[in-house]
Amino acid sequence: MFTKSTALDQLEAIYGEVIGRNPGEAEFHQAVREVFDSLAPVVQRHPEYLDMKMLERICEPERQIIFRVPWTDDKGEVHINRGFRVEFNSALGPYKGGLRFHPSVYLGVIKFLGFEQVFKNSLTGLPIGGGKGGSDFDPRGRSDGEVMRFCQSFMTELYRHIGEYTDVPAGDIGVGGREIGYLFGQYKRITNRYESGTLTGKGLAWGGSLVRTEATGYGTVVFANEMLATRGDSFEGRRVTVSGSGNVAIYAIEKVHQLGGRVVGFSDSSGYVVDEAGVDVGLLKQIKEVERGRVADYADLRDSATFSDRGSIWDVPVDVALPCATQNELNGPQAATLVKNGVIAVAEGANMPTTPEGIRTLQAAGVLFAPGKAANAGGVATSALEMQQNASRDSWSFKHTEARLTEIMQGIHETCAATADEYDTPGDYVVGANIAGFTKVADAISAFGLI
């Protein structure tokens, strides 16, 4: 008889192989561990996944591309960065996932993001596989000309590996509308083809989709609201903090306010702001999107706001917390502080922002917890909707696109909740998301034979 203990032993052995094959890639190891911790009941019920080496196949990217990116700054000095594209899994469709430009980027980060993307994209129900890319280039403090020259050099190598039926990159940390514009321009220049569906997150005037800017933040809040509804609750009248102050955080704040909640805090790498009157989204957009300033600038201009560079955004007592900045930003002690202060729900707007200890602390306290692969899937879902519009040479209204986004996020919530129930872990969205995402991809891989 194939017992749970046997399943756990098999998973542990495979995880050990993953560590051995991918040394020094801590973030990737963490992402694999988080998924494997949910899969014992799956392989116990379906041992054929082990016979087909499905776990090993899903943990090995189909293709890993690393390349040199030379460029010159405004003074004529030559710089060399490293570029990456990990095309992780295309069982459900062309590789789909963003590009991240940040000094912390290395192969392990890109593989963790690509691995997460496979399951996230699966949960959307849309025909897209998973991939991720980026560079250790830091766009902060660089002029438009320097960013343009870097993007052009980056695309000069990347263009040969992407395409609307092969691999469709988008933005991520450090890659917004400006960068996507430079990247697409160089792709068009090299290929002499106006393939709108090759990149998403484009400008509205040249193939972009309404709601794409808002999608990740909006979708995270919609998912959180669905979780709250399972307990007869909602955002109405609730205090909320949102970590970060970039694209995801800004539009998460906006959607919380639309649903009747009050966001009282946000942050960046320099510290955090508390605004008991409720965040002025218009002012925050001006500072972060137009002036490219810091959160302290918001506090300087808002009488009801204070800035602190001590402690953490998670010290602020709230009902709902939305980590929307970066990986591993919410740890065990910080989660314990949230619990002590009465938090009832946490939904991840970023990729893997909560450490394993943090997740255990929240779940042990009965806090509703939504993992990023489910809660922040709205961004890639709307990217896929952008691909649909490009393919049909069409453009949808904001209302129609937002309705589709909301429908997709509600569907993801329903899938995660139903899968958790099916595997006897009701209310565990981590288990529900991991199992639902895994089984769909694994079954597609199996259907294609050994490739």
- Residue type at 140? R
* Domains of the chain with bracketed CATH: 4-59 (no CATH), 63-194 (3.40.50.10860), 214-375 (3.40.50.720)
Mean pLDDT, the chain, rounded, equals 96
Two structure tokens written together for 90: 């295309």
Contact 97, 132 (CB under 8 A): yes
- Strand pairing of 320-323 and 130-135? unpaired
Report how far residue 163's alpha carbon sits from residue 156's, in angstroms, rounded to the nearest whole number.
14
What is the mean predicted confidence (pLDDT) over 196-225?
Answer: 96
Give the integer Cα–Cα distance in Å for 225 and 236: 10
pLDDT value, residue 416:
98
298-305 long-range CB contacts below 8 Å, 24 or more apart? Answer: 298/273, 299/273, 299/275, 302/275, 304/275, 304/276, 304/277, 305/273, 305/274, 305/275, 305/277
SS3 of residue 339 by DSSP? helix
Mean pLDDT within 104-112: 97
What pLDDT sits at residue 118? 98
Is the pLDDT assigned to residue 1 strictly greater than 60? no
Whether the model pTM is above 0.85: yes
**Structure confidence by residue, pLDDT tens digits, 239-288:** 999 999 999 999 999 999 999 999 999 999 999 999 999 999 999 999 99
Give catalytic residues, as residue numbers. Answer: 132
Summarised one tens digit per residue, pLDDT across range 276-295 is: 999 999 999 999 989 989 99
